């Protein structure tokens, strides 16, 4: 069986910005410490929620370096270093490895996309070049393509390709992937409203947006399930469902960053081209934060 990067709830952490639109490192430190104090099992830095696609390589790596040093091995740090340019992904991944990350998160190529053979070549080339545990990221709504179960089965043969973040919402495909790959590929839910269903298929946990504002509760959904308390895990998943929906009332990470601001975290605005949240959706977020005892 391959090594597990983490089990439970990993936070896809936001990147706070100051009034000039630059990374606010003091606030990021506070956010990381809050996560570590409230049950988070891993930090996923510079992912979609962290607005990595709007960062220069230098800033991207500075944020990764800061997270690694702040967390200081208390939980695993996973760095998003994916690209639709294989050479760029390799170079960024090597630099992230040099900064001490525990694993990489690699999204499928976007815009130019590829076919399934190209996916195998792309991910294999990155894994061969970096020799560090790698979590794949399947999010068709953002990239316009998907990883098939058969492709997963081929990729799972690589010793460094250890898991996937599944945000396709296609449970038939996820079940087939689990059947084909077995212990050769761990599966994390990429959708907060689907944590329990993925766990029921043998999943290891979730890479979570919800954890930014409710880390303990997200951790508890997983921990209760692993403890055999499936009914309690289900009850918590369903209780949080309206709140989770509110965090995706607009394009991620616009709502979750606004939720952080409402809670006083000084997360700042999202970088363009991401827009701002409507007043109606701000009111929805405030209502859900209050209902869940967070405001």
Is residue 26 predicted with pLDDT exceeding 70? yes
pLDDT in tens, 207-234: 999 999 999 999 999 999 999 999 999 9
pLDDT at 143: 96
Among residues 213, 219, 196, which one has the least CA distance to residue 252? 213
Contact criterion met (CB below 8 Å) for 282 and 258: yes
Instruction: Name, in order, each residue with C-beta under 8 angstroms of 210's C-beta and a sequence gap of 6 or more.
Output: 192, 217, 218, 240, 243, 244, 247
Mutual angle of helices 57-71 and 86-98, in 10-degree steps = 30
Residues 92-119, mean pLDDT to the nearest whole number: 98
Residues 29-42, mean pLDDT to the nearest whole number: 98
**C-alpha span between 79 and 68 (Å, rounded):** 9
Q: Give, for 45, the enclosing helix (H) or strand (E).
A: strand 42-45
Distance of CA 278 to the CA centre of its chain: 25
**C-alpha span between 190 and 207 (Å, rounded):** 5
Is residue 122 predicted with pLDDT exceeding 70? yes
pLDDT at 295: 87
Residues belonging to the active site: 137, 165
Confidence at 147, pLDDT banded by 50, 70, 90 = very high
Average pLDDT in the chain: 97
Instruction: Name, in order, each residue with C-beta under 8 angstroms of 281's C-beta and a sequence gap of 6 or more.
Output: 246, 249, 250, 255, 258
Among residues 144, 160, 148, 143, which one has the least CA distance to residue 107? 143
Predicted TM-score (pTM) of this structure? 0.97
Residues 223-251, mean pLDDT to the nearest whole number: 98
Confidence at 1, pLDDT banded by 50, 70, 90 = low
**C-alpha span between 41 and 215 (Å, rounded):** 9
Residues 193-218, mean pLDDT to the nearest whole number: 98
Provide the 3-class DSSP secondary structure of residue 204: coil
Domain ranges of the chain: 8-225
Cα Rg of the chain, angstroms: 18
Among residues 181, 92, 83, 174, which one has the least CA distance to residue 132? 92
**Percent of all residues in the chain with a pLDDT value above 90, rounded to a whole number:** 99
Is residue 266 predicted with pLDDT exceeding 80? yes
CA angle 31, 21, 52 (to 5 degrees): 65
Residues 93-102, mean pLDDT to the nearest whole number: 98
Q: What stretches of the chain show up as alpha helix (H) in DSSP?
A: 25-37, 57-71, 86-98, 116-130, 140-143, 149-155, 171-181, 195-200, 215-226, 230-239, 241-246, 254-262, 279-291
Confidence at 2, pLDDT banded by 50, 70, 90 = confident
Confidence at 3, pLDDT banded by 50, 70, 90 = confident
Handedness of CA 159, 165, 171, 172 (dihedral sign): negative
| Residue 179 neighbours by CB distance under 10 Å | 12
CATH classification of 8-225, choosing from 2.60.120.10, 3.20.20.70, 3.40.640.10, 3.40.50.620? 3.20.20.70
First to last CA, the chain: 43
Phi and psi (nearest 5°) for 290? -65, -45
**C-alpha span between 49 and 45 (Å, rounded):** 9
**Percent of all residues in the chain with a pLDDT value above 70, rounded to a whole number:** 100
């Amino acid at each position: 069986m391959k090594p597990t990067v983490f089990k439970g709830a990993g936070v896809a952490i936001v990147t706070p910005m100051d009034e000039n639109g630059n990374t606010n490192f003091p606030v990021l430190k506070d956010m990381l410490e809050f996560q570590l104090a409230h049950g988070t099992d891993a930090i996923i830095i510079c992912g979609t929620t962290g607005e990595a696609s709007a960062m220069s390589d230098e800033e991207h790596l500075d944020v990764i370096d800061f997270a690694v040093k702040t967390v200081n091995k208390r939980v695993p740090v996973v760095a998003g270093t994916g690209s639709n340019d294989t050479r760029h992904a390799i170079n960024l991944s090597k630099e992230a490895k040099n900064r001490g990350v525990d694993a990489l998160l690699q999204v499928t190529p976007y815009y130019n996309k590829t076919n399934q053979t190209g996916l195998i070549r792309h991910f294999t080339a990155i894994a061969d070049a970096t020799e560090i545990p790698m979590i794949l990221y399947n999010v068709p709504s953002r990239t316009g393509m998907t990883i098939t179960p058969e492709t997963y089965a081929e990729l799972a043969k690589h010793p460094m390709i250890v898991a996937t973040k599944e945000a396709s919402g296609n449970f038939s495909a996820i079940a087939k992937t689990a059947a084909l790959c077995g212990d050769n590929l761990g599966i994390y839910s990429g959708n907060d409203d689907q944590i329990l269903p993925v766990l029921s298929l043998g999943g290891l946990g979730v890479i979570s947006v919800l954890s930014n504002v409710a880390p303990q509760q997200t951790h508890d959904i997983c921990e209760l399930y692993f403890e055999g308390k499936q009914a309690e895990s289900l009850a918590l998943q369903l209780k949080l469902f309206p709140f989770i929906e509110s965090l995706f009332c607009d394009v991620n990470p616009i709502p979750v960053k606004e939720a952080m601001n409402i809670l006083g975290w000084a997360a700042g605005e999202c970088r363009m081209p991401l827009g701002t949240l409507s007043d109606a959706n701000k009111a929805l977020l405030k209502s859900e934060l209050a209902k869940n005892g967070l405001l």
